[in-house]
Structure 1
């Protein structure tokens, strides 16, 4: 059976006033420090004493001293109140300037595509921000995982998220090494893939992803087969470079290898498109300066 729990309202009421009076041993000087009337100070102390159930000050017409209960309260409440005030300053600091831990969730393929070119410059520009990158192809709950934001392909982002575009739309390209294409020939139609070794991606939900294409009638999904299944695009790309088979990856992931002549695109007239890469966050509250700084820096770098 659950115990009843009542939130105590005003548990800290009067503590700051008590500490000021204890520090000055004088109600008037405490009132001056707090910019209130001596009467207000007296009322706050009486309310605190009533709530605690013990007299905290021994008052005479000439002096103010601490009772034993007051001294014990001061010994414990003084440091605790200072910690609370310090905690407020730290929180206020995080809310007003770029500082603190910034945690991001993103797929491994996005790291070389979007992040690597700007990580060093961002860390130099914002030395008070600690950047933590959790590279995983799993879709995560940002709030439950303690992440400030995520980076994903646009089609995988929930509609209730605030999305910030990082790249223009791009296509998915099928690539093979010159050696592989010389040995096995170049596919001209999607149906030709049944005669090729196709390297496939396993999604975070456990399903092996079909290859996506487009023609005049719309989107096409092709179920292919081959000798390798991987959980990320860089692994598929590396295997394709080694001549293991054909791979389908986002065009920006393959561009470097294509430009170097390590891979050759095929079936380009059937290439399917994706909306591009986006940074996303819940956006239900004001965006903290650390995340705003990262978004602005990232947009200027990509």
Structure 2
């Protein structure tokens, strides 16, 4: 009788099939790529069938491997669900939660959500990665991501939180002293603006809208920054007008350190969403985070 495969071998096969890469599968499993390769080579030898076609540049399932993985995914999902039920029976969830968000969203989470979550669940380790570019959370091994609604992939389950958002032009009283504040976006041409770039590296165009009229402005200015918090700081220092998420500027606006500009040209839009794969069982650590998010956002 042939020796039955281990759960580690089965998970390794499923991960390689999902990522089409030993390296990415190894990252997800927190193993060395050579370990994943040796596990699957031994698995194939014991069952007497080739499951993977390997080349120096790629890895793909054989027809036999595809049939096995098709059935294996549902089995592993059921197993994860059963283990999650065991975890849920504990008084406190235990484990690691990996979430990716933009730097701006990560800053917002750090104000109250993260401290509350860590205090409420001391046995959970939160791995929060601030990343400007849009990631494939499944391929990169994240439990969830947080983005604006328009950026959430359609095949994901999305949980809205925090209400609507909007971008806002802001400047300090020192910068505006002796200057006429802009009344329309077109008047930004007469001002020094703090610019930024898109994740693709292109200068970001400031987008406004009022009564159905949409305006995109290529602003000018001496300073180019790549972090929202730096743009707020630049505005506070009187270096020009910044265009930033209203939530990030809110403390400075409340204190009068920044003044809102072009408010009627800055409409609200659907806010932030936490999203995760719909085909996976929601682990208790993620469910706990979602509960905190809904309660405190």
Count of residue correspondences: 222
2:87 to 88, 96, 107: 96
The answer for the alignment partner of 2:256 in structure 1 is 261
Contact 1:212 1:221 in 2 (8 A): yes
Contact 2:149 2:273 in 1 (8 A): yes
Please report how far the alpha carbon of residue 179 of structure 1 lies from its aligned counterpart in structure 2 after TM superposition.
0.6
Q: Which whole-Å deviations, capped at 9, do the CAs of 1:241-279 have from their partners, x for residues lacking one?
A: 101100111111111101111100111111133211111
The answer for the alignment partner of 2:32 in structure 1 is none
The answer for the alignment partner of 1:226 in structure 2 is 221
2:3 to 2, 5, 11: 11
The answer for the alignment partner of 1:282 in structure 2 is 277
Contact 2:148 2:270 in 1 (8 A): yes
- Structure with the greater alpha carbon radius of gyration: 1
The answer for the alignment partner of 1:82 in structure 2 is none
Describe the shift of the 1:209–1:12 C-alpha distance in structure 2 as closer, same or farther (beyond 3 A). same
Please report how far the alpha carbon of residue 10 of structure 1 lies from its aligned counterpart in structure 2 after TM superposition.
5.8
Contact 2:185 2:262 in 1 (8 A): yes
- Kindly indicate whether residue 193 of structure 2 is the aligned counterpart of residue 202 of structure 1: no
Extract unaligned runs of 5+ from structure 1: 1-8, 14-50, 52-87
SS of match in other structure, 2:139: helix
Contact 1:166 1:278 in 2 (8 A): yes
2:139 to 106, 124, 144: 144
1:173 to 168, 173, 189: 168
After TM superposition, the score normalised by the length of structure 2 is: 0.69
After TM superposition, the score normalised by the length of structure 1 is: 0.68
Contact 1:154 1:274 in 2 (8 A): no
Describe the shift of the 1:102–1:263 C-alpha distance in structure 2 as closer, same or farther (beyond 3 A). same
- 1-side partners of 2:223 and 2:98: how far apart? 32
Contact 1:148 1:291 in 2 (8 A): yes
- 1-side partners of 2:269 and 2:4: how far apart? 54
Task: Flag as ranges the 4+ runs of structure 1 deviating above 4 A.
Answer: none
2:159 to 160, 164, 171: 164
- 2-side partners of 1:93 and 1:156: how far apart? 29
Describe the shift of the 1:131–1:269 C-alpha distance in structure 2 as closer, same or farther (beyond 3 A). same
1:244 to 239, 243, 255: 239
> Which sits farther off after the overlay, 183-192 or 171-180?
183-192
Alpha-carbon RMSD: 2.5
Extract unaligned runs of 5+ from structure 2: 6-45, 47-78
Contact 2:149 2:270 in 1 (8 A): yes
- 2-side partners of 1:106 and 1:224: how far apart? 27
- 2-side partners of 1:95 and 1:197: how far apart? 58
The answer for the alignment partner of 1:123 in structure 2 is 118
- 2-side partners of 1:290 and 1:10: how far apart? 37
- 2-side partners of 1:208 and 1:161: how far apart? 30
Please report how far the alpha carbon of residue 178 of structure 1 lies from its aligned counterpart in structure 2 after TM superposition.
0.3
1:213 to 203, 208, 228: 208
SS of match in other structure, 1:130: strand
Describe the shift of the 1:10–1:196 C-alpha distance in structure 2 as closer, same or farther (beyond 3 A). farther
- 2-side partners of 1:10 and 1:179: how far apart? 78
Contact 1:153 1:274 in 2 (8 A): no
> Which sits farther off after the overlay, 168-177 or 106-115?
106-115
Q: Which whole-Å deviations, capped at 9, do the CAs of 1:26-85 have from their partners, x for residues lacking one?
A: xxxxxxxxxxxxxxxxxxxxxxxxx9xxxxxxxxxxxxxxxxxxxxxxxxxxxxxxxxxx
The answer for the alignment partner of 2:63 in structure 1 is none
The answer for the alignment partner of 2:286 in structure 1 is 291
